[in-house]
Structure 1
Amino acid sequence: MSNTEEITTAEAPFDDQNCDNILQSTNGVNFHVYKLVLSLMSPIFKDKFMSPHSESQSDETSIPIIAVAESSTTLRSLLCYPAATPTFDSLDDAKAVLEAAKKYDMQPALSRAGDLIIAQFLTDHFLDLYALSCRFGWQHHAQTAATRALEIKDLGRPSNGFNGLQDITGADYHRLLVYHYQCGIVAQKVGDSLSWLPPSSGEMQLQMWICKCRLTGSAKTLQIGNVGELKIVP
């Protein structure tokens, strides 16, 4: 932070003058916090508070000030847990919160942020969320994102649409491609053969789940007796 930048105080609930510590963001916003609360949330902060050599300064009220490497936007979302549910203006903001939660070993906040990010950004960013889920070990979220990735017909071809490759290993990406390929094989076999259909003399209600494929968009159409049209993803 520049020496000439004005120091401001964060809005409630981080403006409590009875606090016993202040976290100062990179853009000069002071967050008034309590050591006990932060120690319970983060073993990293707990060690920092216990260390006699903790890098801090004090203002005129003698409240220790700890400068951190996060912006006020990131700190606000990070410290909202568990009192409130944070919201994210963008996926980049959400990623910054995840990095901070990992840095300070705030596991409950990290898990909660993962749920919120999936709920908020899955529709438009499922490949990036697959990468984040692999990175942070969220198997359930990785499966959800991989299933949505089945909508991408040309997955694996050179593309600028996957900005999360730097967040995962080659093995993680290979697993996604294998999953995508195998689901396509299963869907193709279903389209080529009707042996899986049970015999019926009346109207039939079909409910089909094939690797959780979404039967929308570009698909082949089969006419099955009086049942009607069935679309199969090629």
Structure 2
Amino acid sequence: MCNDSRPAVTTAQSPFDDPNADIILHTSDHVDFRIFRLILTLSSPFFQGMFSLPQPTADAPRSTTNNPNDTQVSQSQTTTNGPPSIDVPEDSQTLDTLLRFLYPNTHTPSFHGLVHAHNVALAASKYDMPIALDKIANKVEAQYVSTHPLHVYLIACRMGWEPVARAAAAYCLDPDRMPREELDGDTMLRSSDAGVAYHRLQTYREACRRALETKLDDMDLFLDEESCESESDGDVHGGISGRCLSRWTAQYLANIKIALLKCPRKDALDNFDLVPLGDCTRCYIDKAHAIATARSQVATELKDALSNVRCNVYD
């Protein structure tokens, strides 16, 4: 008695298990996705062209491929009376996510990690699915740009997502959001074009620092030179006296400049550690007003300075 060495085939989860489907996509990990070719035809010129070709006969053997960039069509050996089957090199997780970006009445899927997101994007690009690619780009940006901006930037550069790449580059201005490990140790960052993209990013970050430093040096936010009356009244706390408000404001602005040159982003202004210590009771209300005024004006100048620096995603 001979053993059947063929791997067991399972059926994908709903909605890709419809018995009325007229095409099957068979993944590299042997999962069958039963879908409607109309959806693929409307979503992908690649599949539209494939379906316009003569289909193999029912007794034609299933062909396989080890090349992840190849996709072959064959009639299923086990369902000779069923719909034709297409062998695809993607695994079931990648294909399931990709199809959910195409299928009606399904929730927008989430990615299980950046490798997963990258694989789905590459599959959508290979099968020429522009609508799916737009949705994937938006999802990658929403899910990962604030936590993994460098990875998102490099993926976006590779996929041609310029708006996503520029949004990610802006987050990369914060050094705390950049990976601390060596780039050579991260397989996501070792693609053939990653070095060029990373160099452009570093050029952008340095240009932002220079533009902001020039802007901050030219700013005049010392609103007045009026002195606090606490010195003459003897009501002094913490050693702050004389022109304490203007001096305190000067220290606050100096702290802002240091923080922004390290992280030229508006959210750097939200750090309360930038506010100098001091307990002069007469200046308390004036200091609160000075914080709000200085933060607002610096944020405006920051936006103006960085808006003139363009991240060159491509030559």
TM-score normalised over the length of structure 2: 0.61
Q: In the aligned structure 1, how far is the partner of 2:211 from the partner of 2:115?
A: 36
Greater Cα shift, 165-174 or 56-65? 165-174
Paired residues in the alignment total: 228
Amino acid at match of 2:199: H
CA deviation digits over 1:87-128, x for unaligned, max 9? 111111111100100010001001101111111112321101
- The yes-or-no answer on 1:79 pairing with 2:99 is yes
Q: Which residue of 1 aligns with 2:74?
A: 56
| 1:54-203 correspondence to structure 2 within 5 Å | 55-58=73-76, 59-82=79-102, 83=104, 84=106, 85-152=108-175, 159-160=182-183, 163-166=188-191, 168=193, 170-195=195-220, 197=221, 199=223
C-alpha displacement of 1:213: 4.9
Contact 2:146 2:168 in 1 (8 A): no
Q: Tell me, what secondary structure is at the counterpart of 1:63?
A: coil
Structure 1 portions without partners, runs of 5+? none
Amino acid at match of 1:80: R
Change (3 A) 1:35 1:194: closer
Q: In the aligned structure 2, how far is the partner of 1:43 from the partner of 1:4?
A: 33
C-alpha displacement of 1:52: 1.9
Amino acid at match of 1:7: V
Residue number among 34, 39, 42 corresponding to 2:41 in the alignment? 39
Structure 2 portions without partners, runs of 5+? 57-72, 227-244, 254-259, 277-285, 303-315
TM-score normalised over the length of structure 1: 0.80
Q: In the aligned structure 2, how far is the partner of 1:154 from the partner of 1:104?
A: 33
Q: In the aligned structure 2, how far is the partner of 1:228 from the partner of 1:39?
A: 59
* Larger relative helix fraction: 2
Q: Tell me, what secondary structure is at the counterpart of 2:172?
A: helix
Determine what percentage of the aligned residue pairs are the same residue: 32
Amino acid at match of 1:13: P
Higher Cα Rg, which structure: 2
